[in-house]
Amino acid sequence: MAESINIPLLNADECALLLIDHEPQMFFGVQSHDRQTIVNNVVGLAKGAKLFGVPTILTTVTDRAFSGPIVPEIQAVFPDHKPIARTSMNSWEDENLRKAVEKTGKRKLVMAALWTEVCLTFPALSALANGYEVYFVTDASGAFTKEVHERSVQRLIQAGGVPMTWQQTILEWQRDWANQETYEGMMDIIQEHSGAYGMGIFYAKTMVQSYPDFKGFPDEGKVEQHGTASP
């Protein structure tokens, strides 16, 4: 039987976030996920990190020569963050990035990247080898194919990485709905980025909370066969 490893829930004040190579040319090669869904998810993750004050590092590979700048939706969350430009596929081999990670003082690294098989797997394995805990966000990353993504995820798990989703990550940071400092911000993120559940949040805000004493429409239920209300 495999040894059971107890990994505690994430606390925002223990984490740093690395968003790696979410650039146009990198998106072109993604076939494992819907590309727009990845954008939605990584932006939701970025907004969560900003809400909870999680130090966030943005980085790009050959942005001027080939891949293009980081997608504007991510940059808009952190307008003052200048992405660390690299040429290395393994961002951990870039001295500027390693120094930026060290500067955060955090030992729990949350990572998302394009592509999963290279720009996520390589730095995640390197960080693990250097004693960091790595939590990789699978639905804010993407690969050439579903199989490539799955094999990369398996390799990272085998090496000790912890798979996460973007919403799971920020909900672990929130932990308790009584944490009012971040409650409204969380609701805004979920409403915008969590699909049908987000629609439910919008409905609850605009209808249920706006009309707490609503008892139904006048004469509701008193409708004759032809659809006219009873007198």
Per-domain boundaries in the chain: 13-174, 177-212
What is the token pair recorded at 15? 């984490």
Domain 13-174 - what CATH class? Answer: alpha beta
User: What percentage of the chain's residues is helix, strand, coil (to nearest 5)?
Assistant: 50, 15, 35
pLDDT at 226: 45
Q: Which of 39, 119, 143, 186 is catalytic?
A: 119
Alpha carbons 66 and 25: distance in angstroms, whole number: 7
pLDDT at 204: 83
**Predicted confidence pLDDT, tens digits, the chain (231 residues):** 345 566 899 999 999 999 999 999 999 999 999 999 999 999 999 999 999 999 999 999 999 999 999 999 999 999 999 999 999 999 999 999 999 999 999 999 999 999 999 999 999 999 999 999 999 999 999 999 999 999 999 999 999 999 999 999 999 999 999 999 999 999 999 999 999 989 998 888 888 766 666 565 555 555 444 444 433
* Beta bridge mates, 58: 19
pLDDT at 206: 83
Annotated catalytic, 15?
no
pLDDT at 207: 80
pLDDT at 21: 98
Alpha carbons 210 and 105: distance in angstroms, whole number: 44
Scanning the structure block, which residue is given the tokens 């250097």? Answer: 130
> Which of 72, 69, 164 is CA-nearest to residue 112?
164
* Cβ 162 vs Cβ 133: under 8 Å: yes
In order of 17, 50, 212, the CA distances from 58 in angstroms are: 9, 13, 44
